[in-house]
Amino acid sequence: MEVYKKLTVKNGWVDGFTHHPGFHGGPLPTSAVMGLISHTMEGNLPHTDELFTPGPQGNGNSAHFGTAQDGTVIQWVPLGMVAEHAIAANPHWYAVENADDGDPNNPYTDAQLSRIAQILELTSRPEYGRFTIQVTDSPDKEGLGMHNMGGAAWGGHSCPDAAKHPNHTRSQARAEIVRRAKIIREQGQYATLLTLASTTILEDSMLLNKGQDAITPIALPDGIKTLRFFSNQPAQLAVDTRDGHPVTKLDLNNASAQVVTVPPAIHAFVAHRLDGGSNDISVAFSA
């Protein structure tokens, strides 16, 4: 399956993405960036590409990136430059447009979720955006936002959802995008299933619950032999079997990883946070 690694950049253009230089404004200083806006296309990538690049169909609008439902990405505007996507938001927000096959109620595909997560992790780095990886519903709060949160000053759009639709499918997907972006930041990649040269299999990582004494149940996929716990700052946790038998206690250092061996016939664990519980701790499964 697909592995979504940290993106690399040369002169503002992301390696591996298709580059179609499009309409853009002036510089976007790192100090001015508030976050990333995830838009919906109400269409598909080829038509949006025509609109965002100079030519007979071009309309002067643009975004930094666009994703197709199969995970294909086009970059129209280099990092550090303003894209023409949301009027008053332009000098402060990066933008990614996402195909919806003409219906904003269609959920993001799994490939799109991971691509947007890659872009969120990239644009939030100190050298490009220096904003917090989190969900935001306000133009005054950093993070992954929506076009509609800016109101009339941003063009009065309902994007990324259909107007007055109760499900808000794409807005509600932002928490999952943030989760994947944090895993990419901490571990260097996000993978649903990956066979490495060492025959290691990495299953989809998960984040432990936050909060003092928070407890997270962990069900193991078949064939898993080890757990890898990661923390983005010092943390402590206890790992027990589902029926309460202690397995180990872990002291995680900043950006560290520790491995727990799965005893025979054990199919589930409980992770119990022993610290304040405000930081992110993730766990990956290995065979």
**Residues 252, 122: one domain?**
no
Total domain count, the chain:
2
Calpha distance 258→235 (Å, rounded): 12
- Indicate the average pLDDT of the chain: 88
Angle (CA) 172-111-203 rounded to 5° is 95
Calpha distance 22→84 (Å, rounded): 10
**Residues 103, 8: one domain?**
yes
Where residue 105 sits, what CATH number does that domain have? 3.40.80.10
More confident residue, 253 or 283: 283
Where residue 253 sits, what CATH number does that domain have? 2.60.120
Calpha distance 58→81 (Å, rounded): 19
Helices then strands, counting H and E runs in the chain, come out as: 4, 22
CB neighbour list of residue 127: distance below 8 Å, 6 or more residues apart: 30
End-of-domain residue from the set 157, 186, 215? 186
| pLDDT band (50, 70, 90) for residue 257 | low
Run of H or E including 38:
strand 35-40
CA nearest 218: which of 282, 155, 133, 125? 282
**pLDDT tens, residue by residue, 134-168:** 999 999 999 999 999 999 999 999 999 988 776 78
H-state helical runs in 62-134? 110-123
**pLDDT tens, residue by residue, 193-223:** 433 333 344 445 678 888 888 888 888 777 7
CB 152 within 8 A of CB 94: no
**pLDDT tens, residue by residue, 3-59:** 899 999 999 999 999 999 999 999 999 999 999 999 999 999 999 999 999 999 999
* DSSP class per residue in 54-78: SSTT--S---SEEE-TTS-EEE-S-
- Sign of the Cα torsion 165, 170, 176, 179 reads negative
**Residues 166, 199: one domain?**
no
Residue range 224-252: mean pLDDT, rounded: 83
H-state helical runs in the chain? 45-52, 110-123, 169-172, 174-187
End-of-domain residue from the set 140, 162, 186? 186
**Residues 16, 48: one domain?**
yes
User: Which DSSP category does 266 fall into?
Assistant: -
| pLDDT band (50, 70, 90) for residue 192 | low
CA nearest 223: which of 245, 199, 239? 199
Provide the residue range defining the domain that includes 232.
192-286
**Residues 142, 260: one domain?**
no
**Residues 82, 33: one domain?**
yes
pLDDT at 197: 34
pLDDT at 59: 95
CA nearest 63: which of 11, 16, 106, 119? 119
Calpha distance 184→188 (Å, rounded): 5
**Residues 87, 66: one domain?**
yes
CA nearest 255: which of 182, 199, 163? 182
Full-model pTM: 0.70
pLDDT at 107 over 60: yes
Instruction: Kindly calculate the radius of gyration of the chain based on its CA atoms and give it in whole angstroms.
Output: 20
